[in-house]
Amino acid sequence: MRALSKREAREGLWMTDVPVPTPGPNDLLIRIRKSSICGTDVHIYKWDDWASKTIPVPMVVGHEYVGVVAAVGSEVRGFEIGDRVSGEGHVTCGHCRNCRAGRRHLCRNTQGVGVNRPGSFAEYLVLPAFNAFKLPDDIPDDVAAIFDPFGNAVHTALTYDLVGEDVLITGAGPIGVMAAAVARHVGARNVVITDVNDYRLDLARRMGVTRAVNVAREDLWTVARDELGMTEGFDVGLEMSGSGPAFAQMVDTMNNGGKIALLGIPSGRVDIDWNGVIFKMLTIKGIYGREMFETWYKMAALIQSGLDLRPVITHHFGIGDFQQGFDAMLGGQSGKVILDWAA
């Protein structure tokens, strides 16, 4: 079958011919329809420090997808050939204390699809049936193909009660923009998003934020106070940029008792004003992946109750044109980029 692989330990990805994987007794074989490009795939493409330490070569990459069940392992219950599925990309051990307590998202032995085991930029993917999520019929393929990063947005945004709250989101990448849409949908009062990239701030405006602020040009406090009448600061902060200065600005602009969820992954240590954290009595929580599988059920329900994610999908390419898809991601002038295996 055709598969996009990290074939050599240097920048790039290559279309390769690899054997169709064989499902074990507890696995599904999934025929991929669409697979979208994650920031992680871009790190692997560029072969940065993290990627060269983490990814074995050769490796089929990709982990955001929608597909159809093509074969079912002998021990699997609850799935049939033809079921439309997406899947949780964190494959957990099942025997550590957190797994045994049902807190799979806290497994210490997590293996990543398309990172530590073969991924979804391929005609077929083998996945433990436990990780598959059967999609309701009214969820379109394009939206299902981005359920993995949507799950990061939902997990982070729903960490705290947002109803009636003033929410600051730092970073208008695809995940920040989707989190903003979730915050609006569930009843936040003001949703303010920051970035330094105007293309992305425009995307956030199309997703219905109260105010998109380019912090390279505008002062966040001035906008919040003078334009939006928020004299006391933000109630909830969702950090989705991985930028140290963005996190520091979030700490500075929170109200006393504010709550922060951190999803963005900084490239190194970050310097923030800990006195601000202490004297404001802020709560800070790190977020990794999606809750298994509560986040998945919530994602489906959010879409079924009218949340529209389509504006965040800005590019489609046939799989043969994958290079154009990666170029769009590398240029920063994109939301989600979907590669279509049927094209």
- Interacting residues toward ligand NAD by CB under 6 A: 39, 152, 170-176, 194-197, 200, 215, 240-243, 245-246, 263-265, 287-289
Buried b (16+ CB within 10 A) or exposed e, 141-165: bbbbbbbbbbbbbbbbbbbbebeeb
Strands 64-72 and 27-36: antiparallel
Quick one: what does residue 175 bind among ligand NAD, Zn ion, none, with the CB cut-off 5 to 8 Å set by partner type?
ligand NAD
Residues with Cβ within 8 Å of residue 101, at least 6 apart in sequence: none
Q: Which is nearer to ligand NAD, 23 or 335 (CB)?
A: 335
Q: Is 288 annotated as a binding residue?
A: yes
Task: Supply the minimum distance, in Å, between the C-beta of residue 54 and ligand NAD.
Answer: 13
**Which residues are designated catalytic?**
40, 43
Residue 99 assigned as binding residue: yes
Residue 277 Cα to chain centre, angstroms: 27
Among 76, 107, 146, 215, contact with Zn ion (rule: CB under 5 A): 107
**β-bridge mates for residue 89, sequence order:** none
- Tell me the closest approach of the beta carbon of residue 282 to Zn ion, in angstroms: 30
Segment holding 175, helix H or strand E: helix 174-185
Residue 167 or 246: the one with the smaller Cβ distance to ligand NAD is 246
Q: Which residue, 198, 191, 121, is CA-closest to 163?
A: 191
For residue 146, say whether it is annotated as part of any ligand binding site. no
Count of all residues that appear for the chain in the document: 343
Task: Report the binding-site residues.
Answer: 38, 63-64, 93, 96, 99, 107, 175, 195, 200, 263-265, 287-288
Task: Report the binding-site residues for NAD(+).
Answer: 175, 195, 200, 263-265, 287-288
Residues in contact with Zn ion by the rule CB under 5 A: 92-93, 96, 99, 107, 109
